[in-house]
Amino acid sequence: MNKDRLKGCKVAILATDGFEQSELMKPKQLLEEAGATTAVISPGDEPKIKGWNHGEWGEQIAVDVPLNKARAADYDALVLPGGVINPDKLRLHEKAIDFIHEFGRTGRPVAAICHGPWTLINANLVRDKHLTSWPSLRVDLENAGARWEDSEVVESGNLITSRKPDDIPAFTNTLIRALEEHQAEAA
């Protein structure tokens, strides 16, 4: 992968304990391989958060920026990993929802995978959008006004959504392309 594709791009990854390990680690790796700088942002005070991996606790990852010090304006895109625990905690955290809403409002890419779109509902970003997610979120998304489909990746305006870890390559490639377009428009 061309390490300069996303040179100068900064991507926020908002997560807390219980994030689906592959849905944070793999997109982070692929974005960095494309030249982006990533920052793990979390609402807690702990220096690390713990992933969820195949039904049990997984690896920890360092928190780069506490949410109370993060500014959406400092980043070019936002990644919202899934897992059940992570987005369920985040959607009850007012500052996390405000951070997500700010990204949606500005039109910069917001990429949510698996259960991550739960937070998009709370941030009032799904009405009249075409989305996908883990299948159990379908009714939640439709009740919030989204049009749901069972696809590997769906792009609707600035929202990029995917269903599960198997979709990570398509999910991340779509985000990389969106960031390249965003850079070209800003130039």
Is-catalytic flag, 114? yes
Which residue is listed with tokens 């075409």?
Answer: 130
Exactly one of 101, 115, 130, 182 is catalytic; which is it? 115
Q: Which residues contact 40 (CB under 8 A, 6 or more apart)?
A: 13, 15, 24, 28, 49, 61, 62, 63, 64, 65
Cα-based distances in Å from 181 to 74, 78, 98, 101: 18, 15, 25, 21
Tell me the three state secondary structure of residue 14: strand
Tokens encoding 6: 């996303």
Is-catalytic flag, 93? no
Exactly one of 93, 101, 114, 182 is catalytic; which is it? 114
End-to-end, the C-alpha distance of the chain in Å comes to 22
Would you name the residues annotated as active-site residues?
114-115
